């Protein structure tokens, strides 16, 4: 597949992965995982960015919460081509 085939690729989902330490609070300390590293490699290969984190680099928002584990994390996100991040409004 060439890069021109994916220049408008948008991928979203419940990844069950926190990409960065800012995306997790509580529970065990955040650390990179094999799954996270594989996803980051794919993002780099296709020049994709986490659109929320790209538009909000310092905001702490979470999409998952476990009161029993005292854990919050942002594990649901959309990946878009880097060149399209300016097209996204908040």
> What pLDDT, in 10s, does the model give residues 35-76?
999 999 999 999 999 999 999 999 999 999 999 999 999 999
Q: Residues 24, 26, 30, 36: what is their CA dihedral angle, to the nearest 10 degrees?
A: -50
Which candidate, 5, 82, 7, places its Cα nearest to that of 50?
82
Reduce the DSSP state of residue 89 to 3 states and report it.
coil
Q: How do beta strands 76-81 and 71-73 pair?
A: unpaired
Q: Please determine, for residue 4, whether its predicted confidence score (pLDDT) is greater than 70.
A: no
pTM equals: 0.87
């Amino acid at each position: 597949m060439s890069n021109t085939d994916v220049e408008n690729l948008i991928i979203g989902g419940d990844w069950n992965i926190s990409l960065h330490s800012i995306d997790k609070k509580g529970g065990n300390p955040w650390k990179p995982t094999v799954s996270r590293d594989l996803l980051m490699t794919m993002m780099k290969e296709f020049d994709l960015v986490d659109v929320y984190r790209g538009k909000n680099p310092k905001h702490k928002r979470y999409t998952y919460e476990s009161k029993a584990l005292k854990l919050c994390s942002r594990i649901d996100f959309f990946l878009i081509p880097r060149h399209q991040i300016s097209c996204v409004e908040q």
